[in-house]
Structure 1
Amino acid sequence: MAGGRLPGPASPGAGAPAHVGLRTSDMAEAREFCRELYYGTLQIEPVGDPGRLEFSADVASLGPITLGDIRYGTDVHVSIGSLETSYHVLIPLTGWLRSRHRGAVVLADPTRAVVYRPTGDIELDWPGTCRLLSVKVERAALERELDAALDQRVVSPMPLGASFDLVDGPGRTWSALVRLLLTELSAPDTLAIRPRMAARWRDMVVRGLALTVEHPYGEEPAGLQGPHRPRTVKRALDAIHAEPRRGWTARDLSTVAGVGVRVLQDSFRRHVGMSPLTYLRRLRLDEVHAELSRSDPGQTNVSEVAYSWGFTHLGRFAGAYRSRFGATPSQTLRDRT
């Protein structure tokens, strides 16, 4: 190994960021590093001179987001199986990158980012001159944020645009925010590594991306989303998302909304497509799935994760989980990507 892992300024914890870096000329080590922090299905093959490999990565994880500044130093071909659990954005800082995903070919460079939704394989031609920012956002986090920002129902996975502009408008602002956050998380003793401030940064990145990416949702429904929701439904949704672990009852939520239980349930079915408690259960299932997808199988217990999200009947939980994700919780934990 030429180089090595760089210790980060913070350790993983509730609300705390974690930073790790690697400098190496060993392709196997670079490949394992990227699989561990991003996706287990990731494949990297050199197409240039392997002797010129100078892999460099600084990666910070903060709740549902993972930010990385990455370069290889030699031409490589990268392939990734369907992301499933995450949306992903690549922002070239130098050079260019050719991307193929779901039939779309995007030539990304410092003027244009490439966006991936969690379905379909990815193929990348990554020249040695390309250094980029890699931004991974957990699927449930971005979908909840776009849902809240639009105040409309969104489908999953969301049909996002394949790229966005980095020169003008929100794309320029968002990419600058990501770059600044990664710089701050990579340095010791900054405000960004303090849990309370880190949470605010995290929310800004997710919300900023929700407002930056292209999507088919607008002021008028496009057939993919429901009508605008009444204020009573919005109040209940805000309460659920603010405290998803709380033991909400239908009466609690109706009190927050300021209407009777039956009125709230009817409004939810009309504007959300399900009852308030069904929505809460689906949200918690998504959170369990996200947590299991990023956890170490040797250090994580499925039952403990389920209990922490309010699932006290493990048999019903396992059935609901399999119905939603097509796999058991233990399979998700074992096959995390």
Structure 2
Amino acid sequence: MAGGDVPVHVELRTTDVAEARAFCRRLYYAALRIEPVGDPGRFDFSADVVELGPITLGEVGYGTDIRVSCGALETSYHVLAPLTGMLRSRHRGTVVLADPTRAVVYRPTGDIELDWPGSCRLLSVKVERGALERELDAALDQRVVSPLPLGASFDLVDGPGRTWMALVRLLLAELRGADGLASQPRMAARWRDMVVSGLALSVQHPYGEEPAGLQGPYRPRTVKRALDVMHAEPGRPYTTTELAAVAGVGARVLQDAFRQHVGMSPMVYLRRLRLDGVHAELSRSEPGQVSVSEVAYRWGFTHMGRFAGAYRARFGVPPSVTLRGRP
């Protein structure tokens, strides 16, 4: 992803609910709903957030009790780890009481409801869906189910969860400054990868335990080669025939392998990869800095009408709304 190793630091403190809502929708999910249920006079939103390629790290608090709800995340996995207070979460039929000893984990599917007290300030970690799934796929050298059947929470006091939490806190603190070692792209990329791989090791998943029906077959090297070149240059005008040549098989064989091991054709996967890239870049850009068309073109879209329709179908809003940062 272009610019994926360069951290982007954004922060906001406001007593305006609409401004806080727009900020969170721009950085996280367009369908996010935030409603104060406590004393509105105590609403005091503050967020200090860093975007680094496929991860978004932030420290967030609201000052008063709020209720948050959101539909399926679709494009990401998400972890909320309270620093103070307790958070009540409902997701996929499971209730989790998260506090400084336990984080709550969200998969890309299923509605989310949160009761977030004013006393709760937390670390929010958003990881793009493909990044975490590729990490487990590479570590295990096998196909993983998408979305990953992750546990609903994990321990922050003992084991890998404690180390992961410390890593996230240190990385966020380092990235807030302009002159820290982690602000250098090469180091930032390594720390970013550590956050993703550390999460894969911290959260509960069934891989390695071989429960029936959860572990898929090995993903063929032909598929991996095609995925690697698409992620290396997502804006390049690939055709199925060109990807098949890279993979060393015929076009029909590659299409069949993708449908079996990825769940979609190579061109559908590439379009989703590009759309996610455009969405991430528009989310962190200012309207005066870039235009929708130039970002779309950079990611390989040449027909703006078809691009706009595909973008709205995936994210629920036109690309211009994402760029403006308003719901």
Shorter chain as normaliser: what TM range? 0.7 to 0.9
Q: Aligned-pair distance for 1:233? A: 3.5
Alignment partner, residue 331 of structure 1: 318
The residue aligned with 1:42 is: 33
Match of 1:208 among 198, 202, 208: 198
Shift of 1:89: 1.0
Give the letter aligned to residue 94 of structure 1.
Answer: T
1:4-54 alpha-carbon deviations (Å, 9 max, x no partner): xxxxxxxx966322223344556565555444433453313142x555555
> Is 2:103 the counterpart of 1:113?
yes
Q: What residue in structure 2 maps to residue 3 of structure 1?
A: none
Question: Which range moves more in the overlay, 141-150 or 79-88?
Answer: 141-150
> Structure 1 residue 296: deviation in Å?
5.7
Residue 73 (structure 2) pairs with residue 86 (structure 1): no
Contact 1:232 1:264 in 2 (8 A): no
Q: After superposition, where does 1:251-290 map in structure 2 within 5 Å? A: 253=243, 257=247, 259-261=248-250, 265=254, 267-268=257-258, 270-273=260-263, 276=266, 279-290=269-280
Write the deviation string for residues 239-278 of structure 1: whole angstroms up to 9, x where unpaired: 3333333455667655655x44469626555544555555
CA distance 1:229–1:92, change in 2 (3 Å) = same
SS at match of 2:115: strand
Shift, 1:300, TM fit: 5.2
Counterpart-to-counterpart distance in 2, 1:250 and 1:317: 19
- Give me the whole-angstrom Cα distance separating, in 1, the residues matched to 2:217 and 2:266: 17
User: Higher relative contact order at CA 8 Å, sep ≥6: structure 1 or structure 2?
Assistant: 2
What per-residue deviation string (whole Å, max 9, x for no partner) do you get for residues 175-198 of structure 1? 111111111012231011122222
> Over the residues paired in the alignment, what is the CA RMSD in angstroms?
3.7
Aligned length: 320
In 2 relative to 1, CA 296–186 (structure 1 residues): closer, same or farther, beyond 3 Å? closer
1:138 to 121, 128, 131: 128
Q: Gapped runs of 5+ residues in structure 1?
A: 1-11
Alignment partners' CA distance in 1, 2:14 and 2:305: 46
238, 248, 252: which is aligned to 2:228?
238
Contact 1:293 1:332 in 2 (8 A): no
- Distance, in Å, in 2 between the alignment partners of 1:28 and 1:313 is 34
Partner of 2:91: 101
Aligned 8 A contact 2:43 2:63 in 1: yes
User: What code does the residue aligned with 1:198 have?
Assistant: A
Instruction: Report whether the alignment pairs 1:71 with 2:58.
Output: no
Paired residue for 2:189?
199
Give 3-state SS (helix, strand or coil) of 2:100's partner. coil
Listed as ranges, the gaps of 5+ residues in structure 2 are: none
- Greater radius of gyration (CA): 1
**TM-score, length-scaled by structure 1:** 0.76
| Secondary structure in 2 matching 1:326 | helix
TM-score relative to the length of structure 2:
0.78
- What is the deviation of 1:297? 6.4
Say if 1:140 and 1:290, in contact at 8 Å, map to a contact too: no
